[in-house]
Amino acid sequence: MTANGTAAREGTEPALVRLLSPEGTRVPHDEYSIDLTPEQLRGLYRDMVLTRRFDGEAVSLQRQGEMGLWVSALGQEAAQIGSGRAARDTDYIFPSYREHGVAWCRGVDPLTLMGMFRGVNHGGWDPNTNNFHLYTIVIGPVTLHATGYAMGVAKDGADMAVLSYFGDGGSSQGDVSEALNFAAVNNAPIVFICQNNGWAISTPIEKQTRVPIYQRAAGFGFPGVRVDGNDVLAMMAVTRAALEHARGGNGPFLIEALTYRMAPHATSDDPTRYRFAEEEAEWRLKDPIARLRAYLVNEAWADDAYLAAIEAEADALAKRVRDGLRSMPDPEPTAFFDHVYAEQHPLVDEERAEFTRYLAGFEEGH
Amino acid sequence: MAARTLTMVKALNESLRKAMEDDPKVLVMGEDVGRLGGVFRVTDGLQKDFGEDRVTDTPLAESGIVGTAIGLALRGYRPVAEIQFDGFVFPAANQIITQLAKMHARSLGKVRLPVVVRMPYGGGIGAIEHHSESPEAYFAHTAGLRVVTPSNAADAYWMLQQSIRSADPVIFLEPKRRYWERADVDVDEMPLPLHQARVARAGTDLTLLAYGPMVRLCLDAAEAAREDGRDLEVVDLRSISPIDFDTIQASVRKTRRLVVVHEAPVFLGPGSEIAARITERCFYHLESPVLRVGGYHSPYPSSRLEEEYLPTIDRVLDTVDRAFAF
Ligand SMILES: Cc1ncc(C[n+]2csc(CCOP(=O)(O)OP(=O)(O)O)c2C)c(N)n1
Ligand SMILES: [Mg+2]
C-alpha cells in the first residue's frame, strides 16, 4: 500500500470535516458549524434508526427468498441521512443504487425500493413526486444526467440545486469525470456526493485512485471537501453549505464522505474472501447511530423511554415492510410490453398480440 | 488424461490457467478478478498463482479495461479482459466498436489485436436489471470482431483456448445460467475448430438451432417432442460471427424445417440473418419458413417476468407445431 493509497482511504488528512466525535462529543470546526434543536437531532436519530431497520429487514427478506438481491446501506446512514436532510424538498436528487437513507428522507417508501430488488419492476417510481430520480444500476451515467438537470436549472434561473451520488468505485468511470467537468464548465448548481465506503465489491479504494477523491474537484475548478461520513452533523452542515453555494450561482461542489460499507457488497457477496474482520471491527467503533445516540443521551436530550419508542417504531416499520413485501403481487405477464415507447409502436403491438394469443392457448388446455 | 467432470466455471478457470502457463504474455484483467476470483469465480486462484502483474483488479471502468487491453495487445500481450456482466459492456462499446474491431483493417493488417473480451450473458438467474442481457447481435454486427459462445463445459474449455490463441479480437460470451452445469471435459481431445457448429442431437424431422444458454433447452425440447412422435435435430451454433452456414444447411436439407432459438430479441437478432441465408441456400428443400423463438422487443424485464419473456420448452414446441402446420 503506497502512502498515496493510504491517503485515499483514511481520514488522517487535516481537511477532514468532523463535528461529532466517534464518542459522541461535539468538535468545533473553523469553517463548518451546525446548530440543531434537540428535536431536530432526535429527528436525525430516528431517520437513521428506521433506515437501518428496514434495510436489515430487507436483508432477512432476501434470505427468505422474497427478493432476488438486496444491497445494504448498513454503516452509511449518517452520510445518507445527513446529506438527504440537508436538501430542501425543491432540490433534486440523483441517487446511485444504495441510497436507501436518502430515499427515506425524500419520502420514497421502502417497499417501493424493495419492489425493484424483488423484480416486479426496474424502479417504477415517478422521480418528480419526491424530486428523487430512479436508482441506476449501471455505474456512472446518472452523474451526467444530474449535471444536465442542473444545467437546465441554471438556464431556468430556478432557486434550487441538484445532489448527485456516486461511490468510490464509480469515481473511476469516465462518465463521472465528464460530469465533474461539464458541471464546472457550465457552472452548474450541483453538489456531488461521493460515498467513499472503502470498497467497490472486492476492490479497495487504493486500487481505484491514488489521491483522495475530494481533491479531484480542484483539478476541475471547484471546491471539494472531505467529511467524516459517519458524522451526521458534519454531513448535514457541509451539504447544506454546498447546496447554498450551488443555489447561489457559485457552481458545483464535491463532498467526499468517508464511510464504510459494513455489510457485504450485496446479499450475493462474501467479503471474507477479500477483507479482514478487524477492519470491520474498527469501523464498528465509528458507528454513526451509536455516536449520535451517545450525544443525545449525554446531553439528556433522549432518555430510555424515547429510545424505546423509536425501537418500537422501527419494529412496526419492519413488520409493515415484511407484510407488504410478502404480499406484493407480481406484474401481469404482458406488463413488459406496456411502457417500451411513449407512442404507439407496431412491432410491440404485434408481439404483444402474439404473446397474448400464446398465453390464451394455455388457458384453453394447449 | 481421462475426461473429468467439471462445471463450466471450473472449465473456464482451468482454461485460463492453461493459457497463462503456456504463454507468459497472457494477462487476465477486470473488476474483482483478483482476490475475489470474479463474481462468478471464473478467475478463482489465478492471482494467487500468477501474481498481481498478470491477474489485475482494474479500476471500475469498462472503457478503461478494454482500452488498456488494446494498448497491452499493441505492446505484444494477449489480454483476456473480463466484463463483470453483459449489461456493463456498453461503457466499453466505443473502445470495442471503433477501436478493437477496426485496428487490423486500419493498419492494412500490420496491427493485430489478440484481445479476448469475456463476459457472462443471458438471463434466467433471477437477477436485477442489466445482469441478463444478450448483446451478441451488436457485436456480430461489427466487422472485425469474432463472437463465440460455448453451451457446455467442454466447449467452454476449448473455445476459450482457441479464442486466446486467435489473432483477432474475440467477444467470448459465457451463458451464466449454465455456469454450474457439469460436463465431461477432456483436455487432450482435439476440439472442433472454433467457428464450426456441432450437431448436438441427430434427428430427422426439424432442426432446432441454438447457441449458448438455449442449447440445453432445445435438447430438452427435442426429448419432449419425441412424445409427439417427432424426431428433432439440435444444432449448437457455437459461433455467431462467423456463422457456420454449411453445417446448418446440411442439417436443414435433411430435416427440411428450421427453428432458431435465442434469448436475444428476435427483431434483427442472429436468427434474422440465419433465416435469410438459409432460405436462400435451402429454398427448394424447405417445408416451412424458417421460424424464430426469442426475446421480445422490450427491455429485458424485471426478474418476476423473465420466465414469460424468455424462450421456454413450451414456446419452442409451440413454434415447432407451427412449422409442421405449414
Ligand atoms: C458500469 C458498471 N460496471 C460494473 C458494475 C458492477 N458493479 C456493481 S456495484 C460495483 C461496485 C461499486 O462500487 P462503488 O462505486 O464504490 O459503490 P458501492 O457499491 O460501494 O456503494 C460493481 C463493480 C456496474 N453496476 N456498472
Ligand atoms: Mg464503494
Instruction: Write out the H or E segment, with its range, that includes residue B251.
Output: helix B245-255
3-state helix, strand, coil in chain B (%, to 5): 40, 20, 40
CB-based contact, A200 to chain B, within 8 Å: yes
B90/A122 Cβ within 8 A:
no
Residues framing ligand 1 (Cβ under 6 A) = A 98, 137-140, 167-170, 197, 199-201, 261, 265; B 31, 60, 62, 84, 88, 91
Burial A143-155 (b: 16+ CB within 10 A, else e): bbbbbbbbbebbe
pLDDT (tens digit per residue) in B100-129: 999 999 999 999 999 999 999 999 999 999
Mean pLDDT of B138-149: 98
pLDDT at A206: 96
Amino acid sitting at position A315: D
pLDDT at A6: 58
Report the alpha-carbon distance of residue A311 to residue A305 in Å, rounded: 10
0.90 exceeded by pTM: yes
Query: Which positions in chain B touch A138 (Cβ < 8 Å)?
Result: 87-88, 90-91, 130
pLDDT at A359: 95
Q: How many CB pairs under 8 A join A and B?
A: 120
Report the alpha-carbon distance of residue A354 to residue A348 in Å, rounded: 10
B37/A137 Cβ within 8 A:
no
Report the alpha-carbon distance of residue B112 to residue A108 in Å, rounded: 52
Pocket probe for ligand 1: among A96, A201, A202, the residue whose CB has the most ligand atoms within 8 Å is A201
CB-based contact, A357 to chain B, within 8 Å: no
pLDDT exceeds 80 at position B2: no
pLDDT by residue, tens only, chain A of 366 residues: 334 455 666 655 567 999 999 999 999 999 999 999 999 999 999 999 999 999 999 999 999 999 999 999 999 999 999 999 999 999 999 999 999 999 999 999 999 999 999 999 999 999 999 999 999 999 999 999 999 999 999 999 999 999 999 999 999 999 999 999 999 999 999 999 999 999 999 999 999 999 999 999 999 999 999 999 999 999 999 999 999 999 999 999 999 999 999 999 999 999 999 999 999 999 999 999 999 999 999 999 999 999 999 999 999 999 999 999 999 999 999 999 999 999 999 999 999 999 999 999 987 764
B31/A200 Cβ within 8 A:
yes
pLDDT (tens digit per residue) in A14-71: 679 999 999 999 999 999 999 999 999 999 999 999 999 999 999 999 999 999 999 9
Ordered domains of chain B (ranges, CATH) = 4-185 (3.40.50.970), 198-325 (3.40.50.920)
Model confidence at B1, in pLDDT bands (50, 70, 90)? low
End-to-end CA distance of chain B: 50
Report the alpha-carbon distance of residue B282 to residue B300 in Å, rounded: 33
Q: Using CA positions, which residue lies closest to atom 3 of ligand 1?
A: B88
Report the alpha-carbon distance of residue B169 to residue B228 in Å, rounded: 44
pLDDT at A301: 98
Yes or no: say if B129 and B302 are a contact pair by the CB < 8 Å rule: yes
Yes or no: say if B261 and B309 are a contact pair by the CB < 8 Å rule: no
Tell me which long-range contacts A299-305 makes (C-beta under 8 A, separation of at least 24).
A299/A38, A301/A38, A301/A41, A301/A42, A302/A42, A302/A45
ipTM of predicted complex = 0.96
Mean pLDDT of B11-26: 98
Report the alpha-carbon distance of residue A332 to residue A352 in Å, rounded: 12
The helix-helix angle for A38-63 and A288-298 (nearest 10°) equals 150
Pocket probe for ligand 1: among A55, A116, A139, the residue whose CB has the most ligand atoms within 8 Å is A139
Yes or no: say if A226 and A195 are a contact pair by the CB < 8 Å rule: no
Nearest Cα residue to B183 out of B134, B226, B133, B219: B219
pLDDT (tens digit per residue) in B126-142: 999 999 999 999 999 99
The residue of chain A nearest to residue B301, with distances taken between CA atoms, is: A336
Nearest Cα residue to A7 out of A218, A196, A278, A164: A196
Model confidence at B257, in pLDDT bands (50, 70, 90)? very high
Per the omega criterion (within 30 degrees of 0), is the bond before B242 cis? Answer: yes
Sheet strands (E) in chain A = 92-94, 162-167, 190-196, 199-200, 203-204, 224-228, 253-258
Length of chain B: 326
pLDDT at A362: 83
CB-based contact, A118 to chain B, within 8 Å: yes
Of A138, A358, A366, the CB nearest to B88: A138
